Amino acid sequence: MTPFGLRVRNLRKSRGITLKKMAADLEISSAYLSALEHGHRGRPSWSLVAQICDYFNIIWDDAEELQRLASLSHPKVTVDTSGLSPLATEYANLLANQIRDLPEPRLKEMLAYLKGRRTEE
């Protein structure tokens, strides 16, 4: 599941809307919406994110946050390390090979570091 997919699913469920109904209302297939929620499709288009914001009456900061989550929700990431140090290339390859085995606390720690803040636990 992607950050965008999780947020959309939570919005939908908190309002008691079925996936089938939301898909029909947005005029997209329920299979596509399900794939977006589960992270089996690439990041959604800006226009679909805008449609979803309209659908849930999301405005201002919350709409920007949903767009930000959409931009960070490509399930098949490519990391271009050309021109970087061998250490960067090794890190990217190790991360790609081992990310499935990393425990959630370690992922949170690494994400916090990349975002420039410490985890608080």
What's the pLDDT at 106?
96
The pLDDT of residue 34: 97
Judgement on whether residues 87 and 33 belong to the same structural domain of the protein:
no
Residues 66 and 18 in one domain: yes
Domain boundary among 71, 91, 111: 71
Name the residue range of residue 93's domain: 78-121
Q: Are residues 63 and 86 in the same domain?
A: no
pTM equals 0.75
Q: Residue 42: what pLDDT?
A: 87
Walk along the chain (121 residues) in steps of 10 and give the mean pLDDT of each run. Answer: 95 97 98 95 94 97 96 90 96 94 96 79 48
What is the number of structural domains in the chain?
Answer: 2
CATH number of residue 17's parent domain: 1.10.260.40
pLDDT of amino acid 70: 95
Return the structure tokens found at 106.
Answer: 């370690």
Q: Looking at the structure, tell me whether residues 27 and 61 fall in a common domain.
A: yes
CA dihedral (90, 94, 97, 100) in degrees, to 10, reads -150
In one letter, which amino acid is 31? A
